[in-house]
């Protein structure tokens, strides 16, 4: 049902956790319909210095979150924003068709985290870490 | 790695005695029971012997059993067959809200294509259907009520005699899906006063692909598989002789072992339930705490999702089931858990263990050693769990 890459990321999720003083936070989904993901980012010099996630959901949702965090960490914000749900699924060696929509939300959660950081920057440019 | 299989409601291994009884009926004794010559007529006799063995397990007579391809087919035949045979009386059915999909969807089929009205009878938090509530839903057009005997999802065993007795008094047919119960706990159609009862092979250690329907004598059923006059015209299609022999053998064995089996399974279940409640915080034991299938333990674990938990467990060789939306092809949470009033996020954490006699206390201890760390791990990165614990800490 799941690829070896998916099972590996599920069994050993990378970057699972919370950043208490995060520069940006993005949350997608809700536990009622299935999966819920929260991404935390730390930004330095326009780069994602740290990325962490928390996920409530199935094997696919956990693996997706882990993969997104790995793909994004160390990237500059522009490149990180180019990560799509589709590219995440491809990098995971594919996902079951019925998991493509509900569980493949990691890229959206990351994008929301970056957006929340950028909005914060616009409001308080003096606090910019860059 | 140790393998602890606790998903016997989904599939059971075919018993060795059952398999051996079946083997001659593939290549040696292959005749068609409808054939007139001896190669066929002796198979017809074998079929009737199996019917007798299955009937005896549930306190019925030989001629009151029709063989089907599965429990699902037997449920379809019961619901559609009995409803369509009683159109003159009316087009109203009542089925409980926690039925198997084969009952729910057979009822919905009648609603959609035959202008039936279907009432889904709500159940209490412990899964029990209330006879007084059932009585209130009955109308002069009600022809059939269907309520599951024992729930494969939450384990609850209904007060069938009371519910069926009410229906008999009102002149309404009563069907019960007893797939999860037959072979695990005593079931007697006379005592229960049911008109129709579904059973299935795999639950007894017979192969997949065989089931049976009990029907009260003279009850009319419109066949759902049209064909020849096999099964006295109630189901077309040449009988699946080897599987039926397997069902007959399994039924005979079940009858001998039933009393000891129920006690043994209940012992394992109680050990698991007590251990889980002691070792895993924030777990809800679903279904009725006492009036339930002996080999069935079902929980909802807060803060995690069931499919992920199943995969964590299967990595340790433990095989269980879940009613979580993520594990279903339709991506919908089990309607059964919703009907009990369990909140959707908690229902996502459903996990179900079903035992058989090849399980042991060691198996239970193995689960009790591996379940808590699996839950802890998933909770360690669950935003739902984080919010839950933060809210609890804030008081």
Report the alpha-carbon distance of residue B2 to residue B18 in Å, rounded: 26
Kindly give, in sequence order, each residue whose CB lies less than 8 Å from that of residue A122, ignoring residues fewer than 6 positions away: none
- The answer to whether position A72 is within a domain reads yes
State whether residue A53 sits within 8 Å of chain B by CB: yes
Q: What are phi and psi of B150, to 5 degrees?
A: -125, 135
Answer yes or no: do B315 and A11 touch at CB < 8 A. yes
Q: Reduced to 3 states, what is the DSSP secondary structure of residue B177?
A: strand
Average pLDDT score over residue span A1-27? 96
Residue with tokens 């017809």: B44
Nearest by CB to B384, from A7, A10, A36: name it. A36
Report the alpha-carbon distance of residue A113 to residue A115 in Å, rounded: 5
Q: Reduced to 3 states, what is the DSSP secondary structure of residue B393?
A: helix
Report the alpha-carbon distance of residue B10 to residue A101 in Å, rounded: 27
Chain B positions touching A8 (Cβ under 8 A) are: none
pLDDT at residue A101, rounded to an integer: 73
Nearest to B296 by CA among B145, B120, B103, B148: B148
Answer yes or no: do B326 and A11 touch at CB < 8 A. no
Answer yes or no: do A54 and B386 touch at CB < 8 A. yes
Answer yes or no: do A58 and B383 touch at CB < 8 A. no
Chain A positions touching B324 (Cβ under 8 A) are: 58
pTM: 0.94
- Burial track B357-379 (b if 16+ CB lie within 10 A, e otherwise): eebeeebbebbbebbbebbebbb
**Least CA distance to B380: which residue of chain A?**
A17
Report the alpha-carbon distance of residue B239 to residue B393 in Å, rounded: 63
The tokens of B227 are what?
A: 């064909």
Average pLDDT score over residue span A117-123? 93
Nearest by CB to B325, from A13, A34, A54: name it. A34
Three-state SS for A14-49 is: CCECCCCCCCEEEEEECCCCCCEEEEEEEEECCEEE
Answer yes or no: do B311 and A34 touch at CB < 8 A. no
CATH code assigned at A21:
3.90.1010.10
Please work out, in degrees rounded to the nearest 5, the angle formed at the alpha carbon of residue B331 by the alpha carbons of A54 and B176: 130
CB B327 within 8 A of CB B7: no
Does position A127 have pLDDT exceeding 60, yes or no? no
State whether residue A33 sits within 8 Å of chain B by CB: yes
Report the alpha-carbon distance of residue B143 to residue B130 in Å, rounded: 19
- The answer to whether position A57 is within a domain reads yes
Q: Reduced to 3 states, what is the DSSP secondary structure of residue B191?
A: helix
pLDDT at residue B395, rounded to an integer: 77
pLDDT at residue B336, rounded to an integer: 92
- As a residue count, chain A comes to 130
Active site residues of B: 326
Counting beta carbons within 10 angstroms of the beta carbon of residue B34, is it exposed (0 to 12), middle (13 to 18) or buried (19 or more)?
Answer: middle
Chain A positions touching B384 (Cβ under 8 A) are: 31, 36, 56
Domain spanning B4-10+258-394: CATH 3.90.1150.10: yes
Range of the domain at A14: 4-119
Q: Reduced to 3 states, what is the DSSP secondary structure of residue A130?
A: coil
Answer yes or no: do A57 and B308 touch at CB < 8 A. yes
Report the alpha-carbon distance of residue B225 to residue B37 in Å, rounded: 26
Which of left, alpha, beta for B316 (phi over 0: left; psi -120 to 50: alpha)?
A: alpha
Report the alpha-carbon distance of residue B8 to residue B204 in Å, rounded: 10
Report the alpha-carbon distance of residue B110 to residue B80 in Å, rounded: 7
pLDDT tens per residue across span A30-86: 776 678 999 999 999 999 999 999 999 999 999 999 999 999 999 999 999 999 989
- The answer to whether position A129 is within a domain reads no
- The answer to whether position A20 is within a domain reads yes
- The answer to whether position A113 is within a domain reads yes
The tokens of B300 are what?
A: 């909802």
The tokens of B267 are what?
A: 């012992």
pLDDT at residue A130, rounded to an integer: 45
Q: Show me where the domains of chain B are located.
A: 4-10+258-394, 16-254
Which band of pLDDT confidence, cut at 50, 70 and 90, is reported for residue A2? Answer: very high
Residue with tokens 């919908």: B332
As its CATH architecture, domain B16-254 has 3-Layer(aba) Sandwich (3.40)
Q: Count up the domains in chain A and report the number.
A: 1
The number of C-alpha atoms within 13 Å of A62 and in the hemisphere containing its C-beta is 32
Q: Reduced to 3 states, what is the DSSP secondary structure of residue A76?
A: strand
CB A26 within 8 A of CB A116: yes
Three-state SS for A82-111 is: CCCHHHHHHHCCCCCHHHCCCCCCHHHHHH
DSSP alpha helix (H) spans, chain B = 16-22, 24-27, 38-57, 71-76, 82-85, 101-113, 131-137, 160-170, 189-192, 241-279, 306-314, 335-339, 344-347, 361-380, 383-394
State whether residue A106 sits within 8 Å of chain B by CB: no
State whether residue A28 sits within 8 Å of chain B by CB: no
pLDDT at residue A33, rounded to an integer: 67
How do the pLDDT tens digits run along chain B, 395 residues long?
A: 899 999 999 999 999 999 999 999 999 999 999 999 999 999 999 999 999 999 999 999 999 999 999 999 999 999 999 999 999 999 999 999 999 999 999 999 999 999 999 999 999 999 999 999 999 999 999 999 999 999 999 999 999 999 999 999 999 999 999 999 999 999 999 999 999 999 999 999 999 999 999 999 999 999 999 999 899 999 999 999 999 999 999 999 999 999 899 999 999 999 999 999 999 999 999 999 999 999 999 999 999 999 999 999 999 999 999 988 777 666 677 889 999 999 988 999 999 999 999 999 999 999 999 999 999 999 999 999 999 999 888 87
């Amino acid at each position: 049902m799941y690829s070896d890459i998916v099972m590996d990321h599920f069994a050993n999720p990378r970057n699972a956790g919370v950043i208490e003083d995060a520069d940006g936070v993005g949350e997608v989904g809700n536990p009622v319909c299935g999966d819920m993901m929260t991404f935390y980012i730390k930004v330095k010099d326009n780069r994602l210095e740290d990325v962490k996630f928390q996920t409530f959901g199935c094997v696919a949702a956990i693996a997706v979150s882990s993969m997104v965090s790995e793909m994004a960490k160390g990237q500059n914000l522009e490149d990180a924003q180019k990560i799509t749900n589709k590219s995440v699924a491809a990098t995971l060696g594919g996902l079951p068709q019925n998991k493509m929509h509900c569980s493949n939300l990691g890229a959206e959660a990351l994008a929301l985290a970056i957006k929340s950081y950028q909005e914060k920057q616009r409001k308080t440019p003096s606090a910019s870490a860059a | 790695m140790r393998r602890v299989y606790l998903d016997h409601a989904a599939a059971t291994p075919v018993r060795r005695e059952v398999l051996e009884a079946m083997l001659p009926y593939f290549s040696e004794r292959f005749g068609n029971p409808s054939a007139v010559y001896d190669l066929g007529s002796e198979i017809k006799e074998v079929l009737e012997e199996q019917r007798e063995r299955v009937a005896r397990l549930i306190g019925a007579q030989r001629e009151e059993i029709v063989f089907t391809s599965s429990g699902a087919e037997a449920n379809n035949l019961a619901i559609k067959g009995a409803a369509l045979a009683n159109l003159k009386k009316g087009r109203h059915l009542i089925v409980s809200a926690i039925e198997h999909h084969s009952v729910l969807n057979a009822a919905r089929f009648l609603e959609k294509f035959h202008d039936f009205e279907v009432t889904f009878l709500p159940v209490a938090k412990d899964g029990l259907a209330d006879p007084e509530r059932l009585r209130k839903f009955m109308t002069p057009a009600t022809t059939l009520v269907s309520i599951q005997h024992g729930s494969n999802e939450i384990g609850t065993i209904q007060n069938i005699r009371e519910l069926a007795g009410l229906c008999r008094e009102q002149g309404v047919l009563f069907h019960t899906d007893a797939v999860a119960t037959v072979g695990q706990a005593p079931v007697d159609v006379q005592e229960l006063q049911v008109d129709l009862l579904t059973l299935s092979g795999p639950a007894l250690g017979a192969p997949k692909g065989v089931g049976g329907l009990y029907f009260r004598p003279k009850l009319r059923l419109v066949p759902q598989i049209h064909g020849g006059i096999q099964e006295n015209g109630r189901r077309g299609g040449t009988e699946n002789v080897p599987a039926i022999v397997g069902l007959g053998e399994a039924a005979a064995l079940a009858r001998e072992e039933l009393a000891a089996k129920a006690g043994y399974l209940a012992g394992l279940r109680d050990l698991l339930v007590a251990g889980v409640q002691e070792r895993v915080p924030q777990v809800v034991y679903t279904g009725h705490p006492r009036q339930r299938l002996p080999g069935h333990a079902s929980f909802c674990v807060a803060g995690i999702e069931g499919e992920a938990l199943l995969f964590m467990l299967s990595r340790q060789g433990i095989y269980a089931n879940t009613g979580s939306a993520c594990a279903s092809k339709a991506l919908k949470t089990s309607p059964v858990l919703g009907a009990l009033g369990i909140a959707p996020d908690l229902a996502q954490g459903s996990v179900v263990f079903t035992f058989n006699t090849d399980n042991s206390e060691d198996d239970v201890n193995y689960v009790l050693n591996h379940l808590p760390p699996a839950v802890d791990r998933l909770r360690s990165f669950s935003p739902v769990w984080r919010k839950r614990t933060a809210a609890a800490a804030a008081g």
